[in-house]
Amino acid sequence: MKKTIIIFFVIISCNQKAKLDYEDYNDEDFLPVQGIITKVYKKGAINNFIKKDIHFIYNLEKENPSKGYEVYSPYILNEGEPAIILVHKDNDSISFFGSRGIIHEKVLEDYLKKCDLDKGTYYGVDY
């Protein structure tokens, strides 16, 4: 009986996601903000598609920008690329890569100036 209960709880806990996907939310709950891709880690090819972990920063106008990541992303991105990050309206720690691009040019320019003053590193971000 104890083994059955333990196996049941192991199966349930293995089926739970550690991080929800964008599709698990309502599209209207997100706002696009300016971000930058900070790191790209290749994970290898799966069915001829190269999967990568991408790390990004957003809320660039803050003293310490917010950090986010996506694992096994199908997007081909490069470090330093401007990105549009989708941030949850009620919880800005929930974020997803939206697309490449610039939507707030002034915010991006101001942040990049801070980076130049900070010896070329990403200002306000510790890894």
pLDDT tens digit sequence for 27-57: 999 999 999 999 999 876 666 667 789 999 9
Domain that holds residue 67: 26-117
Torsion of CA 125, 103, 68, 97, to 10 degrees: -150
Q: Return the pLDDT at 118.
A: 75
pLDDT tens-digit map of 6-27: 444 444 445 555 678 888 999 9
User: pLDDT for 69-120, tens place per residue?
Assistant: 999 888 889 999 999 999 999 999 999 999 999 999 999 999 999 988 877 7
Domain presence at residue 70: yes
Element (H, E) at 105: helix 105-117
Give a yes or no: residue 126 inside a domain.
no
Overall domain count for the chain: 1
Q: What is the pTM of this model?
A: 0.78
Q: Is residue 57 part of a domain?
A: yes
